[in-house]
Structure 1
Amino acid sequence: MLGLIVEAIILGILTGGVYALMASGLTLVFGVMNIINVGQGALVILGAYLSYFLEQQLHIDLFLGLLLTMPFMFGLGLLIEFFFIRPIKRDRTMFSILVTFGVALIIEGILNIIFSANPVQLSAWYITGSFPVGGFNIFDFHVGSFYLGYIYVFGFLLAVVLLGGLYLLVYRTKFGFALRASMQNRTAAELIGIDVERVSTITFGIGIALAAAGGMAYGATNLFNAGSAYDLISRLLAIIIFGGMGSLSGALIASLGMLVIEDVTTVVWSPSWATTVFFILLVVILLLRPQGLLGKVEVRKQ
């Protein structure tokens, strides 16, 4: 049993990194623009299908394909922000939910027309195998050997590289300073000369580009079709709420926690309770800390 629990924890951490990659774009956009992009799940699936098309039709390697899909999705994000998000002038949080849901429906319809509703999965010769892990002792307990798929390791490493790059962008560049200032106080940022509108547009594009990378990693470990976006967005929203809206580090912790809890619950209890246990914990956390784990309390003056 201990070996199965250790395997579940390792697998949860590896897959949690991929979810952190997908959720980072969502929480980044909320932090800067104060909008909830419920179309992020559909955009992740779009990224997965783009990788699938490049791999199946053009025989382009999955990771090399990101050099094409991420810039494409960045540009798509700029267009979505310009035509759908920017025109929203009041109640942006509420109206953004409706607008981005409409965008998600459009994407889903197009994907169903082009690829049909049959589930597919990404593949590559170097990620189809597995390697043995285990055969060691934890205190007086022996952990037996088990096999771990290469794709989980590759997906996690991709997440580490891109999230590391995102950290450097946010905390080590001039644009990152403008982004963080916009997250903290849009009005004050404008007063010191920051073009908040431009920062918002670029941030939205970055969030969608991260969805492309997350989609590739997700599609390599899961069967997916256009309808997979609904399950995905519910998980991503739960992650950013659990971690704290607008908190990148909170999204990372929540992603790892969610997947570890699900995988351990599957082993110890039952697969049918895996997601339920996390959502029960989410409710408890929100009762104790309505702003989430690392979210900031918003003080409103009367």
Structure 2
Amino acid sequence: MDLIYGAIVTGILSGGVYALMASGLTLVFGVMDIINVGQGALVILGAYLTYTLGQHFHIDPFLSLVLTIPAMFVIGAVIEVTVIKRIKRERTMLSILVMFAVALIIEGLLTISFSANLVKISASYVDTSFRVGSVYVAYIYLYGFLMSVVLLAALYVFLYRTKFGQGIRATVQNRTAAELIGVNVARVETVTFGIGVSLAAAGGMVYGAINTFSPVSGYDLISRLLVIIILGGMGSLMGALFAALAMLVVEDITAVVWSPVWASLVFYVVLAVALLIRPQGIFGTVVARRQ
């Protein structure tokens, strides 16, 4: 019973981090109708940036976010302006191919720079634990969860309490109508893509502190993030949050009750069953919108 309780705790805490990474993915889809399959590689890029700052400059992983989040925002904005904006027709399908190519380029550059060896972000709180009842949980899970809550709250305030955020939500609802009322949709798309990528940097820092990673780790990660946003409902931030928490708890419980092998499989089994019951996802009604 203690193992199951521990799995629930770690599942919720790690689910918050996955929700953060998935929120960037689903926000980009909601605004731009783009499935950013390069998000996994961008998360790993963020992890490597944090790893480099720690190894060479001894900067704490959480303090490094002051540098990595703006850096990844710029990288995302550059990708959107130089690559995504050039796609005019069949944007959703072509974006999959284009962002897959971007992911391959990132993977290649990381392999050249760091080799294919597994690495891990180190800090004192990565290997120390606190007690929750009879269960010990590493501090990195708690700190990562709290960071995710803060950033998701900041994203909510930005989207619902600022004029630019209102422009983003207007674009999600109806792109043409947003343009007619004066929203600079091109700028909204650039900023949105940058935000999505910068959230990947924050998630990558925690991911790299919990797991060992290499340049090819993005493939497994993007498959998990896609499951989360599909299950939650494409374009739904609330759906991504709910699905991330639920899936990570189910996965961790499966790992302790059966085996880690089954834990990886359960991600996709749950998705298949859920989509048979509700094909549009849990909060999928928000996708039926603009023309």
Q: Distance in 2 between matches of 1:191 and 1:64?
A: 42
Residues 136-147 of structure 1 aligned to structure 2 (within 5 Å): 145-147=134-136
Partner residue, 2:174: 185
Note the C-alpha offset of 1:17: 0.5
Q: Distance in 1 between matches of 2:256 and 2:154?
A: 34
TM-score between both structures, scaled by the size of structure 1: 0.94
Matched, 1:44 2:34: no
Contact 2:46 2:204 in 1 (8 A): yes
Question: Which residue identity does 1:10 align to in structure 2?
Answer: V
Cα–Cα, structure 1 residues 187 and 300, in superposed 2: closer, same or farther, change >3 Å? closer
Q: Distance in 2 between matches of 1:69 and 1:271?
A: 32
Residues 18-167 of structure 1 aligned to structure 2 (within 5 Å): 18-134=17-133, 145-167=134-156
Q: After superposing the two structures, state which structure 1 stretch, 266-275 or 50-59, moved more.
A: 266-275
Note the C-alpha offset of 1:291: 1.1
DSSP 3-state at the match of 1:131: strand
Partner residue, 1:199: 188
Note the C-alpha offset of 1:237: 0.5
Question: Which residue identity does 1:101 align to in structure 2?
Answer: F
Note the C-alpha offset of 1:290: 1.4
Partner residue, 1:169: 158
Partner residue, 2:198: 209
| C-alpha RMSD over aligned residues | 1.3
Note the C-alpha offset of 1:171: 1.2
Equivalent of 2:218, from 204, 224, 229? 229
Partner residue, 1:15: 14
Question: Which residue identity does 1:298 align to in structure 2?
Answer: A
Q: Distance in 2 between matches of 1:74 and 1:92?
A: 22
Q: Distance in 1 between matches of 2:276 and 2:181?
A: 37
Q: Distance in 2 between matches of 1:181 and 1:298?
A: 14
Note the residue ranges of structure 1 that are not aligned, 5 or more in a row.
135-144
Q: Distance in 2 between matches of 1:169 and 1:210?
A: 14
- Alignment length, in residue pairs? 290
Q: Distance in 1 between matches of 2:270 and 2:128?
A: 35
Q: After superposing the two structures, state which structure 1 stretch, 205-214 or 283-292, moved more.
A: 283-292
Note the C-alpha offset of 1:131: 1.7
Q: CA deviation digits over 1:21-73, x for unaligned, max 9?
A: 11110000000000011000000000000000000001111111111111011
- Which of structure 1's runs of 4+ aligned residues deviate more than 6 A? none
Partner residue, 1:281: 270
TM-score between both structures, scaled by the size of structure 2: 0.97
Question: Which residue identity does 1:237 align to in structure 2?
Answer: L
Q: Report % sequence identity.
A: 67
User: Larger Rg: 1 or 2?
Assistant: 1
Contact 2:173 2:289 in 1 (8 A): no
Note the C-alpha offset of 1:300: 10
Q: Distance in 2 between matches of 1:272 and 1:113?
A: 31
Note the C-alpha offset of 1:275: 2.4
Q: Distance in 2 between matches of 1:272 and 1:77?
A: 34
Equivalent of 1:238, from 227, 237, 242? 227
